[in-house]
Structure 1
Amino acid sequence: MSAPSPEPPAAGTRRWAVVLTKAGRVKIRYPAELVRDDGARVTVRAPWAAPGARDFGFVRFEPGDVFTEHYWRDRWFAVKEVRGGDGALKGWYCDITRPAVVADGVLTVEDLDLDLWVSADGNAVLRLDEDEFEESGLAGRDPAAAGAATAALDELEHLARTEGLTTLLA
């Protein structure tokens, strides 16, 4: 089966919108610059989109940070390379999502609550929000999606611990 043809950016520009939904609601929407769309994977770049800084304990996201975000139309995750304003790599934040949908320069993904953090040096690989995933009730509502989500988290963790995420992004 061949990959679908890439959707062109709206009005011939390189500016897209990224829309992250959760439980049927828009969680965040922000502008991003299209870097690449090969039909299967879409890569965009965007500054930290939330107001102010957010300290997770293992990493701090703040104004000036730049996210190079990789989304797939056929995979259940997104991988976001995070760099500080000085260009230093902070690490990779991975969201477990349904496959991306792209239409008219808008990239939409549904957040499925599971996340993975991989530090820049690869020494910290942290599974996040598994409690939120359980509480979401996805396993009861859509067992196939819940299975795909947990398999995607396992795949990313395995890759992070063995080969590193950069092999996925090459």
Structure 2
Amino acid sequence: MSAGSSDTGGTPEVQVEVRLVKAGRTKIRYPASLLADDGSHLVVRAPWAAEGVRDFGFVRFEPGDVFTEHYWRDRWYAVKEVRTGDGVLKGWYCDVTRPAVVRGRGPGELRYQLLVEDLDLDLWASGDGGTVLRLDEDEFEESGLAERDPVAADAARRALDELELLVRGGAFRDLLARPLPS
């Protein structure tokens, strides 16, 4: 596939700048390619965007990894499928976030921004299904969100519980079924 075109017969590829914010500051921003958008569920693909290797102990994210990222305008989480450069599934890193906000998307637009606010809670589900980990609950409690915005804190806790139930209940892959291409 050549730069600037997709695998849909030469249709120009829509570029998305993903911007992840935390506590009002930009944590990371990176380019991604839009795979699909049905008005609620967006799917983008991007290479590992951080510098070097990030070893969590249960998984390593490293240069060459490819992330297929699922965002929703009406759900309080984002799910990132992580694969090695040669396609081996590592697992899914799930961020509890406010619903995604899209800026600059209009008819014929080939570039726009996806803004996502990280709320600290995370879930990891390994590709082999053997490991499901709730992450960063201590950071969430220390963030002060429950005092500043109790409604958002409650939504974040419910989102983490929902993700865990979806993974453990076998409905996780249905959640990630791709919407129609945009």
TM-score, length of structure 2 as denominator length = 0.86
Report which structure shows greater RCO (CA 8 Å, sep ≥6).
Answer: 2
**Residue correspondence of structure 1 range 4-83 to structure 2 within 5 A:** 13-83=13-83
**Residue correspondence of structure 1 range 129-168 to structure 2 within 5 A:** 129-168=136-175
The DSSP-based 3-state class of the residue aligned with 1:93 is: strand
Q: Is the 8 A contact 1:45 1:67 kept in 2?
A: yes
Q: Is the 8 A contact 1:122 1:164 kept in 2?
A: no
In the alignment, residue 132 of structure 2 is paired with which amino acid? V
Distance in structure 2 (CA, Å) of the matches to 1:76 and 1:99 = 5
TM-score, length of structure 1 as denominator length = 0.92
Tell me the C-alpha RMSD between the 2 structures: 0.9
**Residue correspondence of structure 1 range 80-159 to structure 2 within 5 A:** 80-104=80-104, 105-159=112-166
In the alignment, residue 155 of structure 2 is paired with which amino acid? A
Distance in structure 2 (CA, Å) of the matches to 1:134 and 1:116 = 16
Q: Deviations over 1:101-144 (max 9, x none)?
A: 00111000100000000000111000000000000000011000
Distance in structure 1 (CA, Å) of the matches to 2:152 and 2:77 = 12
Q: Is the 8 A contact 1:68 1:80 kept in 2?
A: yes
Displacement of 1:72: 0.2
Match of 2:109 in 1: none
In the alignment, residue 122 of structure 1 is paired with which amino acid? G
Displacement of 1:164: 4.3
The DSSP-based 3-state class of the residue aligned with 2:152 is: helix
How many equivalent residue pairs?
Answer: 159
Which segments of 5 or more consecutive residues in structure 2 lack a partner in the other structure? 1-11, 105-111, 178-182
**Identical-residue share of aligned pairs (%):** 72
Distance in structure 1 (CA, Å) of the matches to 2:50 and 2:171 = 28
In the alignment, residue 102 of structure 1 is paired with which amino acid? V
Displacement of 1:86: 1.4
In the alignment, residue 128 of structure 2 is paired with which amino acid? D
Distance in structure 1 (CA, Å) of the matches to 2:165 and 2:128 = 16
Distance in structure 1 (CA, Å) of the matches to 2:155 and 2:34 = 27
Which segments of 5 or more consecutive residues in structure 1 lack a partner in the other structure? 1-11
Runs of 4+ in 1 over 2 A off after TM superposition: none
